[in-house]
Structure 1
Amino acid sequence: MANTKSAEKRNRQAQKRRARNTNVRTTVKTAVKKARETIATKDATKTGDALKDAVRTLAKAASKGVLHKRTASRRIARLTKAARKATTAAK
């Protein structure tokens, strides 16, 4: 429990940030899930669009500080690799 005005303010700020970070993380998970589902279908055009969206959301989360930049980079690389493998196997 906060005892001072400044501690109360920091607590309010932390709650706002926590809510914002949760929302961003949820958006990232949804985008990655959609990308993985479209990769499984092996449809090149849908896969490209879903991958683009997932990469954008991961990069944005990293720039906001919700995800570490290397974590985002690793996830982007793995998604891209899976998409490339799926589309080349379909050809």
Structure 2
Amino acid sequence: MANTPQSKKRARQMLNRTTVNKARRSRIRTFLRKVEEAIASGDKSAASAALQAAQPELMRGVTKGVLHKNTAARKMSRLSARVKAIA
């Protein structure tokens, strides 16, 4: 348990940061789910539009420290390949 004033403050900061990061991660997952659903429906225009909306969210997650840069790049690459494969 936190004993010093500094460690108590750090514990409070971690709680706040955890809630913010959880909201950011959830928002990113929502955008990715929209892309997945558009791919599953087979609508290429909707899928590409959803991908265009998801790209800045993924990159924002990288700059905010929620995702690693390579993780976001990998997700973008795989999703764009799947969207491109829709006939």
TM-score by length of 2: 0.94
Worse overlay, 45-54 or 67-76: 45-54
Separation (CA, whole Å) in 1 of partners of 2:76 and 2:27: 15
- For residues 44-83 of structure 1, the aligned pairs below 5 Å read 44-83=44-83
Gaps of 5+ in 2: none
Aligned length: 87
Per the alignment, residue 4 of structure 1 pairs with 4
State the superposition RMSD in angstroms.
0.9
Per the alignment, residue 39 of structure 1 pairs with 39
Shift of 1:66: 0.4
Gaps of 5+ in 1: none
CA deviations 1:16-62 (Å, max 9, x no partner) are 11111100110111110110110122223211211111111111101
Which 4+ runs in 1 deviate beyond 3 A? none
Per the alignment, residue 15 of structure 1 pairs with 15
